[in-house]
Amino acid sequence: MSGTLVITRKELRQLFSSPIAYVALAMFFVVNGFLFYALVGGYTLQVLQLQGTPPPEFNPTRIIFTPLYQDMTFVLMLLVPVLTMRLVSEEDRARTMELLVTSPVTNAAILLGKYLGVLLLFGALLLISAFMPLSLALIGRLDWGLLGSTYIGLVLLGGAFLAIGLFASTLNENQIVSAAIGFALLLLFYVVGFAQQASGPGGQQILSALSISAHFSNLASGIVDTTDAVYFLSLAGFFLFLGIVALESRKWR
């Protein structure tokens, strides 16, 4: 465990000393800030058109934040490969991975340490993004239960995305190639849900069970189901396992 924490601290220092992290975070807040501004503007226009007290079903949380966080899924598909592409690829390029592998730290500790480092960065990103609902809470009532389930979904979604991106980084020492592989894997899990419409009943169930968008939509709609949590945790665990196997396989090359 101590080895994992050492790698985590090292990874956090490298993340914040690299411009990549700041560029990725700036991209995240610029895109989501624009979407937030546009959705608030649309909501305000709808309220003015009502010319009276909005009906109970006129929920600002569902009108503004549900579509915002649904769109954030695609934003994270672009952001996560940028954050994770250097985690192992940069070590390979600089030939420092050989030093890590021959140190007393196990491959599992190396990979988990890197994962925890970028996961903490992602958690800080989500924490800062909370200014959007908090800014509207000052002037209106929000559905905090719905927002809570959505943020749980974002944490689980981000954890799975980061594990996939980290695995992609173990496959190639070229960071651009690693980012492309990570994006391709994320896109595959994202679009698999759309393919269910063209398949039979049995295929629809399988594809729906594999679809990231389907599971996140449940949480973003306020439905907290253990099935969705198990899906994201299993996805993260599976790709972390593949990443450890990829590092272990280097001993036999």
pLDDT band at residue 233 under the 50/70/90 scheme: very high
- pTM (2 decimals)? 0.88
Residue 4 pLDDT > 90: no
The pLDDT, as a whole number, for residue 193 is 64
Distance CA(160)–CA(236), nearest Å, equals 4
Task: Please tell me the least confidently modeled range out of 13-27, 33-47, 200-214, 217-231.
Answer: 200-214
Helices vs strands, H then E, count in the chain: 13, 0
pLDDT band at residue 199 under the 50/70/90 scheme: low
Both tokens of residue 155?
């944490």
Average pLDDT value over all residues in the chain: 81
CA distances from 205 to 115, 157, 230, 236 (A): 31, 20, 17, 21
* Digit-coded pLDDT (tens) for 33-62: 888 888 888 877 877 776 656 666 667 778
Residue 241 pLDDT > 90: yes
Q: Of the spans 44-48, 128-132, 193-197, 241-245, which averages the highest pLDDT?
A: 241-245
SS3 170: coil
State the DSSP code for 251.
G
State the DSSP code for 174.
-
HSE of 22 in the Cβ direction (CA atoms, 13 Å)? 6
